[in-house]
Structure 1
Amino acid sequence: MADAGVHTATAADLPEIVRIHRETWRLAYARLLPAEVLDALDTDDAWALAVGQGAVLAATEGDFTVGFVVASKAPDEEVAKADGSLPPDADTTALLSVLVEPRWGRRGHGTRLVAEAVRRLAGAGATRGIAWVPEADEASRNFYERLGWTGDGTVRTLDASGRPLREVRLSGPLEVRLAD
């Protein structure tokens, strides 16, 4: 494998992050989401804001950007229990979302991204992480489960242009061990 790395995303990474997001979701979620939702993924402004806040890390292999993770403190509405109450650790819970382009999968990029994200989050006082994953997305659920994260029993159903999308919340420790 060529040199692999993870760095804080900058404006120079935006075109590749947007491309990876758009193309990977169109491939992975074509059966779950309507075409108009997938076509609306070109939201450069939203990505520019996240990158500008330092909440996005990019993974590279050689000269290629191959994936990214968005990681920050979890908003209250993302960490709340099903009844709307907040758990005792709400203020120290982080929200993560990782995506690696399929052709670069199974090469450790996702794990490296999460490892660096949780290192930074734990250093800033976070104690636990959560991620929302479409219930039908077995690959993403399996990825988080390999990290030691499990479903916490919370589900939500999003309206994706009239088509319901059921997501499960996974939760786990901010610890990732990389193989030597």
Structure 2
Amino acid sequence: MPDWRIAPLTANRVTELAACHIASWREAYGTLVPAHILDGFDLERSAITWERRRAEGTHHLPVALAGDRLIGFASATDSPAAESELEALYVRSAWHGTGVADALIETAAPGSPCTLWVFADYPRAHAFYRRHGFADTGIRRADPFTLLPELLWRREPG
């Protein structure tokens, strides 16, 4: 039995999710994303964005909890008429390799089809998503936040 659990995001955990999001970015992308971008995160503004998504009910927002501490989360669009998009999947680095991310992706975006954008120069994420049935579509863009190159990946039905 793991020493963590998956639960839905509740209003009292939104700021904790925002803090986890910021910390996870700094842990995962410290050598990829310029420091001035990582230093520019604003906890209050991030919490407002996550609360809006939670309140609107347009996203699946599972969180991973170890005891009472939020250690990861996922965000996927929830649209019965359209393909879902996994917009975020972050787990604190101390919990990498424990199965937390596997449980989060399966809770946020169960089944198929689904898309996601991933940094082009992030092989760890590429291996993870490949293991979950995603493949590079060949579509490219510049990430709107960092301007780094991103790849569109898709998980097909099946």
TM-score range, shorter chain: 0.7 to 0.9
Q: Which runs of 5+ in 2 are unaligned?
A: none
In structure 2, the CA distance between the partners of 1:174 and 1:40, relative to structure 1 (3 Å rule), is farther
Distance 1:31 1:5 in 2: 30
> Deviation at 1:2?
4.5
User: What pairs up with 1:49-88 in 2 under 5 angstroms?
Assistant: 49-54=52-57, 55=59, 56-73=61-78
Partner in structure 1 of residue 6 of structure 2: 6
CA RMSD of aligned residues (A): 2.4
- In 1, are the aligned partners of 2:17 and 2:47 still within 8 Å (CA)? no
Partner in structure 1 of residue 96 of structure 2: 105
Does 2:117 align with 1:114? no
> What is the SS of the residue equivalent to 1:153?
strand
- In 2, are the aligned partners of 1:2 and 1:61 still within 8 Å (CA)? no
> What is the SS of the residue equivalent to 1:32?
coil
Partner in structure 1 of residue 125 of structure 2: 140
Does 2:132 align with 1:129? no
Q: How many residues are aligned here? A: 152
Distance 1:32 1:4 in 2: 29
Question: What TM-score, normalized to structure 2?
Answer: 0.83
Partner in structure 2 of residue 92 of structure 1: 82
Distance 1:53 1:141 in 2: 30
Q: Percent of aligned pairs with the same residue? A: 26
Q: Which one-letter code corresponds to 1:102 in the other structure?
A: S
Question: What TM-score, normalized to structure 1?
Answer: 0.74
> What is the SS of the residue equivalent to 1:92?
coil
Does 2:153 align with 1:170? yes
Partner in structure 2 of residue 80 of structure 1: none
Deviations 1:72-108 (A, max 9, x none): 147xxxxxxxxxxxxxxxx431111211111011111
> What is the SS of the residue equivalent to 1:167?
strand
Distance 1:115 1:26 in 2: 24
Q: Which runs of 5+ in 1 are unaligned?
A: 75-90, 176-180
In structure 2, the CA distance between the partners of 1:155 and 1:109, relative to structure 1 (3 Å rule), is same
> Deviation at 1:45?
1.0
User: What pairs up with 1:12-27 in 2 under 5 angstroms?
Assistant: 12-27=12-27
